[in-house]
């Protein structure tokens, strides 16, 4: 049982908490000949694929290693410039390893703001009044589970596909939120959650679920 992440969205649609729990690192490694048939964007912070795709390497994937040596920004561990290496035919054939980039905090905030109107649209599309909105969203590689409280706060869990009983996990996360966040005298509603005790209890819960299953959650 794999839980990829937990997100909490405020009633106004802002992301106030996120936890990356077990996000798989997808890597693709390939030996290339000259000239390189991928167009790369050489940013000082990262080198990413800007155009073309090949053998699972897609636009947006980030270069993480050259010939087994880790890439730090736009240079290798030994200080050599990656762009200079890839522009010289003398360095080919060359082995490149690419990885899907991790989402930044700003990207997560943007996605949370997009989920809010989708949730509202789903409620309005319902043929029956007082629809609960999106509770389950299935894709081929993951499932999104959502629980909205009476006050409009949304708890979202991203998991592997085919899991049952996730409503129990969502309500358990809500209980932790009520016990360790709302009862914290220093926490203000609608603000980002920065509570170490809540973080620790949530991680303990997810670890227990992954080891023993949802039905064994402590009541």
* Fold adopted by 27-99: Pdz3 Domain (2.30.42)
Q: What's the pLDDT at 187?
A: 94
| pTM of the entire predicted model | 0.75
Tell which residue, 163, 176, 175, has the closest CA to residue 214.
163
Task: Say which CATH class 3-23+104-216 falls into.
Answer: alpha beta
Q: At what angle do helices 196-212 and 166-177 cross, to 10 degrees?
A: 160
- Domains of the chain, by residue range, sit at 3-23+104-216, 27-99
* pLDDT value of position 188: 93
pLDDT in tens, 65-120: 999 999 999 999 999 999 999 999 999 999 999 998 878 888 899 999 999 899 98
């Amino acid at each position: 049982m794999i839980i990829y992440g937990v997100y909490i969205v405020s009633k106004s649609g802002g992301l106030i908490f996120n936890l990356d729990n077990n996000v798989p690192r997808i890597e693709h490694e390939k030996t290339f000949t000259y000239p390189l048939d991928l167009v790369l964007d050489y940013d000082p912070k990262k080198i990413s694929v800007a155009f073309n795709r090949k053998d699972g390497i897609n636009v947006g994937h980030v270069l993480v290693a050259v010939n087994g040596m880790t890439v730090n920004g736009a240079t290798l561990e030994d200080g050599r410039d990656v762009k200079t290496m890839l522009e010289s035919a003398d360095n080919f054939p060359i082995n490149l390893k690419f990885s899907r980039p991790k989402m930044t905090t700003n990207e997560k905030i943007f996605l949370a703001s997009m989920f809010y109107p989708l949730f509202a649209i789903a409620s309005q599309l319902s043929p029956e009044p007082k629809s609960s909105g999106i509770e389950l969203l299935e894709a081929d590689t993951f499932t999104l589970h959502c629980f909205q409280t009476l006050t409009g706060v949304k708890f979202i869990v991203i998991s592997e596909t085919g899991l049952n009983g996730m409503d129990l996990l969502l309500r358990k996360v809500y209980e932790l939120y009520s016990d360790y966040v709302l009862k914290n005298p220093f926490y203000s509603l609608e603000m980002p959650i920065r509570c170490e005790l809540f973080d620790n209890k949530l991680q303990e819960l997810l670890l227990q679920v992954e080891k023993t299953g949802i039905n064994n959650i402590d009541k």
